[in-house]
Amino acid sequence: MRALWLFIFLPLWSDTVPADGPPFEPQEALKTIKVPDGLRVDLVAAEPLVADPVAMDIDEYGRIWVAEMPGYPLDVGGSGRIKILHDTDQDGRPDSATVFADGLRLPTGIMRWKDGVLVTDPPDIFYLPDNDGDSRADSHIVVLTGFALSNPQHNANSPIYGLTNWIYVANNSTIWWTEKYADPFGDQGEQVYFPDNPEGDLLPRNAADRNVRFRPDTYELELLGGRSQFGHTFDAWGRHFLVNNSQHHLVEALASQYLERRPELPIQTTIHSTSDHGDAAEVYPITIDPMHQLLTDRGVFTSACALTWQLGGLLPAPFDSSITLVAEPVHNLVHIDRVVPDGPVFRSERVLVKREFIASTDSWFRPVNFTIGPDGAIYVVDYYREIIEHPEWMDDSLAAAGDLHQGTERGRIYRIVPEDTPEMNWHGKLSLANATVDELVGRLASDNIWWRRNAQRILVSRNRQDAVAPLSTMAASSTSALGRLHALWTLNGLGTLTTSQITSALDDPHPGVRENAIRLTEMVLTENPELGQSLLAMTEDTNVRVRYQLLNTLGFVPGSDAAKLRLLAQNIESEWFQTAALLALDVSTHDLMHTVLHELTAPEHVIDRFVLRLARILARTNGLVPALTNEGPALGSRLAGAAEGLQQRQNRIAISRELSERLVELALSPDDEPGNAAVALLEAVIPPEPESLEQAQLIATDINQTVDARVRAVRILSLMPNNIEILPALLDSSYPVEVQLASVEALGAQSGTGPAQLLLQSWPNLWPRSRNRALDQFSTQDRANLLVTALEEGVILTEEITWYQRVRLMRDTEEPVRSRARAILKLEDAAPGELAIPGGPGNNDRGQVLFENLCAQCHMAGEVGTGAIGPNLATVQHWPRHVLLAELQNPSQRIASGYESWRLTRTNGSI
């Protein structure tokens, strides 16, 4: 139960929280961290050993390597460092550190490689070797260059040695900036390439804002299908999972090589959001006096990063299987999900109810990364800073106050283990570097990803050809499916994997091995076309992931369209199977749509959805061809898809009067499905002006027509610029809200500031939903200025502005609009020093009594109260105490959007 008294009178755990911070010294900070029963948090390292850590890796000797970023958020002067932690007293724990390399800008990731480490430090990826073993980098070798130096949270980061023996790097799009931060973070990047091999592989600017993979030794470089912000991870079978701020759990559902088969097709996305609790999902911090910046959302994922599969094999149930972790540093917590199959993709589910895996009452606790250790434990990298947000998201006065680097001398690494686990005792004591070939091969079957990944890396990077025999034995007969998997990919990395070994793996009892065996065939199909027959024999495989991989790979097998259509028919309800078939089939989109409409058997709604997607692609690539508008089955889906596809084209196309009149007739008919699609298509083209709009006017105002028909009529009216004078009359509050909404959008779609002025004049007549929609019509620069003026003059109340509308205004690229918006929209609450706020722990019992007596009749807090009139107060549990106290003293100064009081006057004059 989470209720108001928990956040007015200080959160849970207040009885164990130190009272003299933050910041807290390491041992005191440890007391603020809460984990589920049965687990324990150990402090591994803290300042002065580490400071400002953002990433770590553990090498084959058991040494911890740490990437430090003291320069965040604005200093690119070369303060970044790489450290190696040492154990001088041989107790298995680090007690000293040496600076391995310095002079880095803003290092964002580290990975053990050969005799040193790879470090992402945009615009470069460096190899820092230590050839003489003195724990000091001998040189800074630029392996790749060309990545954008943008907001450090968006830069290329987190190199990972993948199952495929490629090195994978997360990369994201650069972000737009106001002029204040354009230097030095306005960089958009250059072409990405190997400086040592300038004539080799070349990727577009900033790698097209996508993840990349590369092989340093062979100068191979490729774009991947997705993008990830800070961090990415692989499950045990090599599937790539991604993260992006508010989207805390994504998976790359479609690899880039399949897109390259049909580059002309406008595939909208290759990424699937797996979270069953949604994007920007609610989180459950326990922070005391949380530190949130002006433009930082509260109580939901806003800084998700460092997504990591828990593959250590150490944690007990329910944290032992199919578990991922993701950091949320703004809210001082770590969230976990259980990942389960969902057709060809996955679904991530909450493991804990209304609480988090790791949470701290300390507002300086900033988990930003994880590593799975050789002991199977989870190692948490804590940046430990007062401010984690970039100043772009702050109040200008705070950004200018000089406090952006508070805590730059601090940082911690924690270890999460079962409660009865022995203390850490392995640091500097591992011998994997000197292991025999048989020992290395044996480690490929370990339950712990650290041993599997590092053993494979060592075998491949050292080109251990003497491992081929034991690897072949493991691939053929190991009782461990993971062992067989890693043996196959290690043989591939050594260049010795045979066709017969792949063929045998296609028949492996474990679906994860079969799925990977199909991927392996792609590398040798050209030289061994007979493998295509083995693939064709797998269309009835019982595992959906295997069938999905098979459909993608069959795109490289000539003459296999019958098998592809069979796979599509078996799995047609999945949009990912639909996309895979579209890319794999050797037929045109036009012909595939004909096949789907006339030859495939599936529920009508499934066919309609697929036809809509095909029509969208066909319209975008070929224009408005007759197949999209002819009479026949799924006409509504074809028209709707055509509308979407045409809207994505750079230039609108003109249509004939005959087609226009037919579409208008459909739009004004009582049949909703083709009617809605017809009006959408009219909005996407340049129709000739109809001879008369009298029928549309009559339908729009006719109370006997259905609401949907009236809405379509309004949309028809909006297509003609000279009808702008008709629309304001439809904003009257006597009209259904749906008609009013359509009229708001119709006015907003007109050019210039005149329509926006009409919306402001009609503001008193707009229903709440219409007001919210109307605010979205002020997104252009000239209209943003009008909106700020309306806020200043009280025409529109600040409480009516949603969070995202506030952010848009307060980040406006025009400084006058930005400054005025921040002045009126930021919380003008009493400052902490102006209110008598008692210190120390709160009184939960007293708070509960006060809430139930004074608040519960109107509000809920968590599950307590009625919520009959006001919003659920659990939504403000993350606000600072002084803000909450100011709200309690004057509860009417700010009314949540959607909870305004409305006075209705009946036509007879009664109220």
Give the chain's domain count: 3
CATH of the domain at 87: 2.120.10.30
What whole-number distance in Å separates Cα of residue 876 and Cα of residue 827?
13
Token reading at 361: 């009452």
186 residue type, one letter: G
409/294 same-domain check: yes
Residue 726 placed within a domain = no
Q: Are 251 and 296 in contact (CB under 8 A)?
A: no
Residue whose token pair is 């793996």: 505
Domain boundary among 691, 722, 749: 691
Write the CA distances from 510 to 236, 482, 516, 567, 630, integer angstroms.
13, 9, 10, 20, 48
Which of helix, strand or coil describes residue 182? helix
Can you name the residues that pair with 346 across neighbouring β-strands?
341
**798 φ, ψ (degrees, to nearest 5):** -60, -30
Token reading at 258: 């399949």
What whole-number distance in Å separates Cα of residue 2 and Cα of residue 628?
53
DSSP secondary structure code for residue 40 in this structure: E
- Residue count (the chain): 911
Helix extents (H) in 478-603: 481-493, 499-505, 511-521, 531-536, 544-553, 561-570, 575-584, 589-598
- Per-residue model confidence (pLDDT) at position 860: 66
- Per-residue model confidence (pLDDT) at position 346: 99
Packed helices 544-553 and 561-570: angle between N→C axes, nearest 10 degrees: 150
Write the CA distances from 681 to 346, 622, 643, 674, integer angstroms.
34, 15, 4, 10
- Per-residue model confidence (pLDDT) at position 832: 47
Q: Is 223 exposed, middle or buried (0-12, 13-18, 19+ CB in 10 A)?
A: buried
Which of helix, strand or coil describes residue 236? coil
Packed helices 561-570 and 575-584: angle between N→C axes, nearest 10 degrees: 170
- Pairing label, strands 191-193, 202-205: antiparallel
Residue 660 placed within a domain = yes
50/123 same-domain check: yes
Token reading at 99: 């600076």
Angle at alpha carbon of residue 825, lines to 822 and 828, rounded to 5°: 100
What whole-number distance in Å separates Cα of residue 712 and Cα of residue 683?
11
**908 φ, ψ (degrees, to nearest 5):** -90, 5
Domain boundary among 541, 564, 583: 583
224/277 same-domain check: yes
29/78 same-domain check: yes
281/320 same-domain check: yes
295/149 same-domain check: yes
Residue 173 placed within a domain = yes
**673 φ, ψ (degrees, to nearest 5):** -65, -60
256/380 same-domain check: yes
Can you name the residues that pair with 338 across neighbouring β-strands?
323, 349
Taking alpha carbons only, the member of 865, 7, 61 closest to residue 434 is 61
Residue 68 placed within a domain = yes
> Nearest 10 degrees: CA dihedral of 906, 908, 909, 911?
-40
Range of the domain at 517: 498-583
What whole-number distance in Å separates Cα of residue 283 and Cα of residue 355?
8
Strand order in the sheet with 124-129: 109-113, 116-121, 124-129, 141-145, 191-193, 202-205
**589 φ, ψ (degrees, to nearest 5):** -60, -40
Taking alpha carbons only, the member of 36, 39, 63, 49 closest to residue 374 is 63
Q: Are 806 and 897 in contact (CB under 8 A)?
A: no
370/227 same-domain check: yes
Residue 96 placed within a domain = yes
27/79 same-domain check: yes
- Say which residues have a Cβ less than 8 Å from residue 689's Cβ, sequence separation at least 6: 720
504 residue type, one letter: S
444 residue type, one letter: L
What whole-number distance in Å separates Cα of residue 864 and Cα of residue 856?
7
150/194 same-domain check: yes
- Per-residue model confidence (pLDDT) at position 446: 98
| Other Cβ atoms closer than 10 A to 900 | 12
pTM of structure: 0.86
Q: Could you list the mean pLDDT of each consecutive 10-residue stretch along the chain, which spans 911 residues?
A: 36 51 95 98 98 98 98 91 97 97 98 99 98 97 96 92 99 70 80 95 96 98 97 99 96 97 91 95 93 65 96 97 97 98 98 98 98 99 90 60 74 99 96 97 99 99 98 98 99 98 99 99 96 98 99 97 96 96 94 93 93 94 92 95 92 90 90 92 85 83 92 88 76 92 90 90 92 90 91 91 82 85 70 51 66 65 60 57 59 51 45 35
Write the CA distances from 511 to 485, 545, 554, 806, integer angstroms.
11, 8, 18, 49
Residue 457 placed within a domain = no
207/346 same-domain check: yes
Token reading at 507: 């028949």
What whole-number distance in Å separates Cα of residue 420 and Cα of residue 815?
57
Residue 242 placed within a domain = yes
- Per-residue model confidence (pLDDT) at position 342: 98
Q: Is 246 exposed, middle or buried (0-12, 13-18, 19+ CB in 10 A)?
A: middle
What whole-number distance in Å separates Cα of residue 100 and Cα of residue 48?
15
What whole-number distance in Å separates Cα of residue 476 and Cα of residue 471?
9
Write the CA distances from 263 to 87, 312, 583, 636, 743, integer angstroms.
53, 39, 9, 28, 39
Residue 504 placed within a domain = yes
Q: Is 752 exposed, middle or buried (0-12, 13-18, 19+ CB in 10 A)?
A: exposed
Domain boundary among 553, 583, 613: 583
336 residue type, one letter: I
- Per-residue model confidence (pLDDT) at position 826: 72
- Per-residue model confidence (pLDDT) at position 906: 46
560/656 same-domain check: no
